[in-house]
Amino acid sequence: MNVLNGESFSPPPIWLMRQAGRYLPEYRQTREKAGSFLDLCYTPDLATEVTLQPIRRYGFDAAILFSDILVIPDALNRGVHFTEGTGPEMTPIAVEDISCLDGKPIFPHLDPVIETVRRLRQELPEETTLLGFCGAPWTVATYMIAGHGTPDQAPARLFAYREPQAFRRLLHILADLSAEYLLAQLNAGADAVQIFDSWAGVLGEEEFEAFCIEPVRRIIARIRQEKPEAKIIAFAKGAGLLLKDYRHKTAADAIGLDWSVPLSFARDLQKEGPVQGNLDPMRVVAGGQALKDGIDRILDVLGQGPLIFNLGHGITPQAKPETVSELVRHIRESHIRERV
């Protein structure tokens, strides 16, 4: 939270995207108890447990709520389900369906998620930041339009070009619902929130402005009406040079960086405020010297400014828990190595 206020620390605070996930044996055991993935997200006892697992094991500086970016379309009765080996699927949305979403409530459907936030704040150590999150409207819309994930989000891009008014309306509805959802998390005890735009990298400059920046700006403006001091991290994966004005235009406190962002450019972004990232998740799979070299390069370039150390995207199931321990140890001993 101090870094989100612009302070710098050596070593920097650490958390990892997908830190509660399939690479942990304790997560896999809990997942088996749940039945389905969505049942795991909507059962506060189990969702609290998996959120706390990496905190117990590694002592990360932040815990992120265990949930999914698609719980909002699930609350909108879009038939969301998760199929092993293929990922999320739902009923593709048509133009005529969008107007039916106006005024549709997401609560009480998402009440169990908010209950998980309350329990986490009670159970986490006071010094551990609790992060809430949502999917950004563009990324959520890509799944709602295609009905599943695609490599280039062509269905959503075509929809946006062919039906610009309907698509803009969908983004506005999702932005307003996302703001409501994040406010509920903050009111329940989340210290800060992150907005995940996982598919920002498939868009051109004009589309990035309209589909990514504008909806996220709308979310943040709505949150700040009620909570002016709310801390918000915005993560637009693959946006590259388009991140130059992203913080200023969205009013996010910190910018998450994927591993493809050059560290020289990241340093320029850091001059404007906190950054988060951006180790390649494959270095965690590789371990050893590759892991240490990647960490050291980030700390060498970004370690003197406001930095939250993280991966450039989620930790993968192939990562070994002991390698994550190595990552945490190497970062936390960095200030000792500097003195030596």
Average pLDDT over the chain reads 96
Pairing of strands 192-197, 231-236: parallel
pLDDT category of residue 253 using cuts at 50, 70 and 90: very high
* Residues facing 279 on adjacent strands: 311
Q: What is the DSSP letter of 229?
A: T
CB 322 within 8 A of CB 284: no
The answer to whether residue 68 is catalytic is yes
Dihedral sign (CA 332, 333, 338, 339):
positive
What is the pLDDT at residue 334?
82
Q: Which helix (H) or strand (E) holds 27?
A: helix 25-34
42 catalytic per annotation:
no
Measure the CA–CA gap between 207 and 238, rounded to whole angstroms: 14
List 23, 27, 31, 191, catalytic entry: 31
For 337, the token pair is: 């190595």
What domains are defined for the chain?
25-279 (3.20.20.210)
Token reading at 95: 């133009």
**Residue 339 clears pLDDT 60, i.e. is over it:** no
Q: Which of 22, 118, 169, 332 is catalytic?
A: 22
Question: Tokens 């059962």 identify what position?
Answer: 43
Active site residue 18: yes
Cβ-based neighbours of 107, under 8 Å, separated by 6 or more: 75, 114, 184
- Report pLDDT digits (tens) over 170-187: 999 999 999 999 999 999
Tell me the pLDDT tens digit for each residue of 267-321.
Answer: 999 999 999 999 999 999 999 999 999 999 999 999 999 999 999 999 999 999 9
Query: Distance between CA atoms of 253 and 273, rounded to whole angstroms?
Result: 7
Q: Is omega for the bond preceding 108 within 30 degrees of 0, making it cis?
A: yes
The whole-angstrom separation of Cα 243 and Cα 67 is 26
Percent with pLDDT over 90 in the chain: 95
Half-sphere exposure of 33 (CA within 13 A, CB side): 13
CA pair distance 216, 245, nearest whole angstrom = 13
The yes-or-no answer on residue 22 being catalytic is: yes
The set of residues, in sequence order, having a beta carbon less than 8 Å from that of 286 and lying 6+ positions away, is none
Which member of 23, 27, 42, 143 is catalytic?
Answer: 143
Query: Which residue among 23, 56, 61, 68 is the active-site one?
Result: 68
Whole-angstrom distance, CA of residue 120 vs CA of residue 97? 36
Average pLDDT over residues 150-164: 96
Q: 301: number of CA atoms within 13 Å, CB side?
A: 21
* Per-residue pLDDT reduced to its tens digit, 17-62: 999 999 999 999 999 999 899 999 999 999 999 999 999 999 999 9
* The one catalytic residue among 18, 119, 218, 247: 18
Report the alpha-carbon distance of residue 287 to residue 21 in Å, rounded. 18
The token duo for 290 is: 């590759």
Dist. CA 111–CA 113, nearest whole Å: 5
Spatial contact of 304 and 267, defined as CB atoms under 8 Å apart:
no
Of 78-92, 227-241, 263-277, where does mean pLDDT reach its minimum? 78-92
At 336, the pLDDT band (50, 70, 90 cuts) reads low
Nearest-angstrom CA–CA distance, 80 and 148: 9
pLDDT tens for 184-225 read 999 999 999 999 999 999 999 999 999 999 999 999 999 999
How remote is the C-alpha of 101 from its chain's centroid?
A: 24
